[in-house]
Amino acid sequence: MSGFSDEQLAAIRAQFPALAAADSPTSPTSGYIFAENAGGSQVLLSVAEAISSYLLTTNVQMASYALASRAESRVSHGACAAAALLGAESPDDVMLGQSATQLVFSLSMMLETRVLADRAAGAEGAWQEGDEIIISDADHETNRGAWTRLATRLGLKLKHWPVTRVSNSESKYAVTLDPKVLETLVTSHTRVVAFTACSNLLGAFTDIGSATQVVRKVAKDALVCVDCVAFAPHRRITPRSWDVDVAFFSLYKTYGAHVGAMYVDPRVKETQLARLNHFFLHTPHAPPGMYPFQTSSVQYELNYSIAAVADYLVSLGTAKQVPSKVDWNALFGRASSEGELTALSRSEVDDALDAAYARVAAHETTLLQVIMPVLLKWADKGLRIVGPEDASSDARAPTIAFVLVDAQGNHRVGTSKAIHQALVRSAIGAQQGHMYAHKLVSSLGLDLADGVIRLSFVHYNSADEVRRTADLLTAIFQTLV
């Protein structure tokens, strides 16, 4: 599968107001390079229009009258789109919330409430003190903090899956998560295994299938929770094929609004989670899906806007310059009140999303092959890639972190900040610090305040933008090292 032609990339960028402004010679942000997409992508115009439309035309509560029914259909439209993006069998297996962090915290509270009830009832198979939770050192704090606190509250043993050096590299910073290491950690007492599909700092893809196989061989009923926040902009989320129980991502890092989406395996929902919503939603007659389990209602206008992201991604796979509006409700057998929607089968949606991400991967290889050789040329001067040094999109996303080290291999504290300041002065949006991967940066012996420099590109970045960034970095390095 090929990537995007110049014409196709221009059409893609035109759908993002911030990118269109950067491409305009008369804009105040003309020439600006958005290279901090792992922190938050740019938003589609169609997403902003969807939010505005909902608030201005259907901003009512759910009820049994015509306008309220249309509002409810729109909320369902977004939930069904989220289910398609998460590879769920039903939108009833999807929980939506204000952020990925909030969703994981809510999940931990559902588990805790159920565990305490099971312990009090003396239920067979209840989690006991001394049982284990495994978290990865490569993760954003979203998929660490909630589990760390849960372990403390329930008297569980917390284990860490450390990063290890990539076999073909001599650099101590060229690390990733190796499922073989997980084999030494999982026992019959393991209850939760939480790890990232793609590190938001290392940019490395985790072998999810192999990791899950390791868990299932020893602790078949352990809950496997995968953070896909840094993965979703680059590759398709397929939790059922991975055999994981929970997978989540953030729409605001995938071209949408500030809302999170989480797949929860229906078996886990029924056997391991407690309902946290109002007491009258705890009965057998409560609404289906995740609503009785959540602590509150959903953000209606933001949920509706998820459909615009899904429409856009489908259009990437079908090579349509103007995305069609898909009938996401119909995809799951629900009635829709929206007009002029395109009916697609599940296989058509799956094929389109597969094709979209294949084209994204091909384009990302082009971007990586521009930037990685330039960075690696400075290895003898102390530049170290933090993560795989591979320029193939099979191994990594174009989320690239690096540091400068001295002759002894120690972090030259202050250089990350200096490089970052030089980049932003030249209208290149980058980031510097620990990126909320606090444990990872600490474990590598890097200064937490200075941290790494991170460049994070996505499919709407052009090879020319990456080349301009590489040229500027070369000039910075010439003065700094």
CA distance 100 to 182: 24
Mean predicted confidence (pLDDT) in 229-240: 98
| Residue 222 dihedral angles phi and psi, to the nearest 5° | -65, 145
CA distance 379 to 357: 32
Q: Which of 367, 353, 259 is nearest to 43 (CA)?
A: 259
Whole-number pLDDT of residue 272: 95
DSSP letters for 130-178: T-EEEEETTS-THHHHHHHHHHHHHTPEEEEE--EE-TT---TT-EE--
Q: Which CATH number fits domain 73-305: 3.90.550.10, 3.40.640.10, 3.10.20.740, 3.40.800.10?
A: 3.40.640.10
Tell the residue number behind the tokens 């926040």, with chain if given.
229
Structure tokens at 266: 């229906």
Is the CB of residue 371 less than 8 Å from the CB of residue 157? no
CA distance 30 to 299: 34
Whole-number pLDDT of residue 160: 98
What H or E segment, with its residue span, contains residue 176? strand 175-176
Mean predicted confidence (pLDDT) in 156-178: 94
Is the CB of residue 62 less than 8 Å from the CB of residue 50? no
pLDDT band at 339 (very low <50, low <70, confident <90, very high): confident
CA distance 406 to 68: 64
Tell the residue number behind the tokens 């409560």, with chain if given.
286
Convert the pLDDT of each residue in 254-267 to its tens digit: 999 999 999 999 99
Is the CB of residue 79 less than 8 Å from the CB of residue 94? yes
Convert the pLDDT of each residue in 373-405 to its tens digit: 999 999 999 999 999 999 989 999 999 999 999
The residue among 321 and 175 whose pLDDT is bigger is 175
User: Given its phi and psi angles, is residue 97 left (phi above 0), alpha (psi -120 to 50 degrees) or beta?
Assistant: beta
Tell the residue number behind the tokens 């903090």, with chain if given.
145
User: Given its phi and psi angles, is residue 155 left (phi above 0), alpha (psi -120 to 50 degrees) or beta?
Assistant: left
Looking at residue 326, what DSSP letter applies? B
CA distance 370 to 373: 7
Angle, alpha carbons 412-387-134 (nearest 5°): 110
- The alpha-helical segments, DSSP class H, found in 207-334 are 208-218, 239-242, 266-272, 300-318, 328-331
For residue 117, how many other CB atoms are within 10 A of its CB?
Answer: 12
CA distance 56 to 22: 29
Q: Is the pLDDT of residue 1 over 70?
A: no
Whole-number pLDDT of residue 320: 77
Q: Which of 215, 204, 223, 218 is nearest to 262 (CA)?
A: 223
* Residue type at position 107: L
Class of domain 360-480: alpha beta
Structure tokens at 433: 């610090």
Structure tokens at 92: 């009833």
Q: Which of 195, 115, 188, 124 is nearest to 155 (CA)?
A: 115
CA distance 155 to 171: 38
| Domain parsing of the chain, residue ranges | 73-305, 360-480
pTM, rounded to two decimals: 0.96
Convert the pLDDT of each residue in 430-480 to its tens digit: 999 999 999 999 999 999 999 999 999 999 999 999 999 999 999 999 998
Whole-number pLDDT of residue 294: 87
Mean predicted confidence (pLDDT) in 241-269: 97
Tell the residue number behind the tokens 């606090």, with chain if given.
438
Give residues with Cβ within 8 angstroms of 113, minimum separation 6: 274, 276
SS3 label, residue 443: helix
Mean predicted confidence (pLDDT) in 177-186: 97
Beta strands in 51-106 (DSSP E): 94-97
Structure tokens at 120: 């009090």
Q: Which of 243, 258, 245, 186 is nearest to 209 (CA)?
A: 243
Q: Which of 159, 145, 147, 139 is nearest to 111 (CA)?
A: 147
Looking at the chain, the whole-number percentage of residues with pLDDT higher than 90 is 90
Give residues with Cβ within 8 angstroms of 88, minimum separation 6: 94, 239, 240, 263
Q: Is the pLDDT of residue 321 over 90?
A: no
